[in-house]
């Protein structure tokens, strides 16, 4: 039996707003998602991919702009030699007003699975292509069911969005167990939903994998991100991982005790160099710990200005502000009154971290603009 060349991707989340980021950075991150999508399309052209499997969450939402939907359709239309199979996921389910429901608007080489587990035969490739899509945000019942319609004379490949769980486990996102995979009769199961890449795995005679998100979406999605591409045949899965992400999410840890502000900034720059971080491209989170004084405290605003050449920097401030009673001074000023009152409260409730945070933010407010989001109790 001949092999088929496959590219397996998932969880692109096109149209994600990145609302927690500054507007300029958010816009650039949205463009990053479009760029990685276009790289996938270009790979299909240059590597002569026969079958492109999109295992859910191609879009971040059901409600997408016309320009985004046009870009995706035009891109798929530009690879007529590649058959595209899409399984809607929990972020872009095939609800009544989904762009997936208007099938006539999609190119002829695109097939979208909008109902229960079903198949179509691609005779030219000798492939029986299976798939199933989310029709709601939540899917508590398994969508992968045993079927007697797998054809042993054809390659059986299935595209699906779902959550791999232990036997007896549950999930709101199409729970799938290894036993279910072993019994499904497929040659390859192309999964999406889990943003962390898996290796090419095997249950019984069935190969399966999660490619992960091709461009990281947060600090819990570090390292290389990309797709799987290669040849699939009966009993053979020669799929390789290809990293495509433009940016990485990077954590840097700084112990600030005893350091002046400029020393802290220099230490951050040294860490960026020694960690081989691409500061002009990557998303940097600086985790600061230790004891600092009012004079040595480094605020997020200060770091942003001092590291203006870094694409994006976020401060996770876990430092302890070392303020003593005498630092409040004896002058009758608003600042000194604030310090003395706060120190009295902290002395009475030394384990209350909210008071220490209030002290830190309050002192910053006397010298600079403070942006803080109340997260509730």
**Residue 310 confidence (pLDDT) above 80:** yes
Q: Does the structure show a pLDDT above 50 at 325?
A: no
Structure tokens at 44: 């299909």
User: pLDDT at position 322, please?
Assistant: 74
Q: Could you tell me the two tokens for 6?
A: 């496959």
Confidence check: pLDDT of 229 > 60? yes
| 50-54, 98-102, 227-231, 328-332: least confidently modelled range | 328-332
Q: What's the whole-number average pLDDT of the chain?
A: 90
Which residues are within 8 A (CB) of 138 and not within 5 positions of it... i.e. 6 or more apart? Answer: 90, 172, 173
pLDDT in tens, 5-49: 999 999 999 999 999 999 999 999 999 999 999 999 999 999 999
pLDDT at 331: 66
pLDDT tens string 171-186: 999 999 999 999 999 9
- pLDDT for residue 109: 97
Crossing angle of helices 23-46 and 66-77, in 10° steps, is 20
Residues 200-219 pLDDT 10s = 999 999 999 999 999 999 99
For 163-225, strand residue ranges (E) read: 163-164, 175-176, 188-192, 201-203, 206-209
Give this prediction's pTM. 0.87
User: Can you give the pLDDT at residue 377?
Assistant: 41
Under a CB-based contact definition with an 8 Å cutoff, are residues 12 and 193 in contact? no
Percent of the chain at pLDDT exceeding 90: 68
Q: Which residues of 112-132 are buried (b: 16+ CB within 10 A; e: fewer)?
A: bbbeebebeebeebbbbbbbb
Measured CA distances, 8 to 180, 195, 222, 226, 315 (Å) = 21, 13, 20, 10, 36
Distance CA 367, CA 237 (A): 61
**Percent over 70 (pLDDT), the chain:** 93
Residue 286 has a pLDDT of 93
Q: What are phi and psi of 61, to 5 degrees?
A: -155, 160
Q: How far is CA 57 from CA 91, 249, 264, 374, in A?
A: 5, 21, 41, 31
Q: pLDDT for 246-301, tens place per residue?
A: 999 999 999 999 898 899 999 998 888 876 667 788 999 999 999 887 778 787 77
Rounded Cα gap, residues 62 and 51, in angstroms: 24
Q: Is 4-243 assigned to CATH 3.30.1490.20?
A: no
Beta strands in the chain (DSSP E): 4-9, 51-54, 83-86, 110-112, 118-122, 127-131, 155-161, 163-164, 175-176, 188-192, 201-203, 206-209, 226-233, 236-243, 249-255, 283-289, 291-292, 312-317, 320-321
Reply yes or no on whether the pLDDT at 329 is more than 90: no
Residue corresponding to tokens 């972020």: 91
Which residue's structure tokens are 């005779």? 123
Provide the 3-class DSSP secondary structure of residue 164: strand
Domain ranges of the chain: 4-243, 249-365
């Amino acid at each position: 039996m001949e092999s088929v060349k496959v590219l397996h991707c998932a969880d692109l989340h096109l149209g994600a707003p990145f609302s927690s980021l500054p507007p300029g950075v958010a816009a650039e991150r949205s463009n990053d998602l479009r760029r990685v999508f276009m790289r996938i399309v270009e790979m299909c052209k240059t590597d002569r991919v026969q079958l492109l499997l999109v295992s859910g969450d191609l879009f971040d939402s059901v409600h997408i702009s016309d320009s985004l939907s046009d870009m995706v359709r035009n891109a798929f239309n530009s690879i007529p030699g590649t058959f595209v199979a899409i399984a809607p996921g929990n972020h872009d389910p095939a609800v009544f007003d989904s762009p997936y429901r208007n099938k006539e608007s999609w190119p002829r080489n695109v097939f979208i699975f909008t109902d229960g587990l079903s198949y179509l035969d691609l005779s030219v490739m000798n492939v029986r292509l299976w798939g199933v899509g989310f029709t709601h945000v939540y899917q508590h019942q398994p969508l992968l069911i045993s079927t007697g319609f797998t054809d042993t004379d054809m390659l059986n490949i299935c595209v699906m969005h779902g959550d791999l769980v232990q036997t007896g486990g549950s999930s709101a996102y199409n729970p799938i167990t290894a036993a279910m995979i072993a019994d499904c009769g497929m040659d390859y199961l192309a999964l999406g939903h889990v943003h962390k890449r898996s290796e090419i795995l095997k249950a019984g005679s069935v190969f399966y994998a999660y490619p992960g998100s091709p461009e990281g979406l947060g600090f819990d999605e570090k390292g290389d991100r990309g797709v799987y591409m290669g040849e699939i045949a009966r009993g053979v899965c020669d799929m390789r991982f290809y990293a495509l992400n433009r940016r990485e999410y990077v954590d840097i840890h700084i112990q600030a005790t005893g350091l002046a502000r400029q020393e802290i900034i220099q230490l951050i720059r040294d860490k960026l160099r020694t960690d081989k971080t691409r500061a002009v491209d990557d998303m940097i989170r600086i985790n600061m710990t230790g004891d600092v004084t009012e004079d040595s405290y480094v605020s997020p605003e200060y770091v942003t200005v001092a590291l203006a050449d870094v694409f994006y920097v976020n401060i996770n401030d876990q430092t302890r502000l070392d303020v003593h009673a005498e630092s409040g001074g004896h002058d009758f000023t608003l600042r000194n009154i604030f310090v003395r009152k706060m120190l009295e409260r902290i002395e009475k409730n030394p384990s209350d971290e909210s008071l220490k945070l209030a002290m830190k933010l309050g002192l910053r407010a006397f010298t600079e603009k403070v942006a803080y989001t109340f997260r509730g109790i």
